[in-house]
Copies of this chain bind each other. A is one copy, B any other.
Amino acid sequence: MKNNEKGLDNFPALHLENQLCFSLYSLSRRVTQGYTPLLKPLDLTYPQYLVLLVLWQAVENKQNKLSVSQLTKNLKLDTGTVTPLLKRMESKNLLSRTRSTKDERIVMIALTEKGLLLREKAKLIPQALLCQSSADQQEIFALRDQLQKVLTLLA
């Protein structure tokens, strides 16, 4: 009887621990889980936090409104994800959605006072995560740069 009739062949390329994809997938979820307890007091989910990061950064550049498409581009998510996400955030009074008068296809997103003020609490989060990670800052930055490099290659 041949080996493969018993399913005893070796397919090392198919082993879970050999796959970059699985490491990425696991670590990404693990990191999100690390954020959860810090975001819960702010009543935010992780994707909602990412939306606020983009809007807060826009404010620093004196842009107090972003279109939905600018947001989806920044977040690298599609409208099927972002539209309901923004609606949930609107219902929590974190931002407003207003249709542009110049071009009525466009919906502009602006932070509310509540959404802007949340930044004061959120600014403590990155440092808190670094502390609990026991990985030093150099390593985190190196990994981030390597990930961005691969992401660019795939884009």
Contact = CB atoms under 8 A, between A and B. Distances in A.
Interface of A: 7-11, 13-32, 34-35, 46, 50, 53-54, 56-57, 59-60, 62, 64, 74, 76, 116, 119, 122-123, 126-127, 129, 133-135, 139-144, 146-148, 150-151, 153-155
Contact of A60 (B11, B24, B32): B11
Contact of A20 (B24, B122, B144, B150): B144
Contacts of A20: 31, 140-141, 143-144, 147
B53 A16 contact: yes
A56 B12 CA distance: 11
Given A20-B143, A24-B31, A135-B150, A14 B119 contact: yes
A150 B142 CA distance: 12
Given A8-B59, A30-B154, A60-B11, A50 B22 contact: yes
A57 B15 contact: yes
Nearest to A31: B21
A40 B98 CA distance: 38
Nearest to A59: B7
Given A24-B31, A143-B20, A56 B11 contact: yes
7 contacts: A14-B56, A15-B53, A19-B144, A20-B144, A20-B147, A26-B76, A142-B146
A16 B54 contact: yes
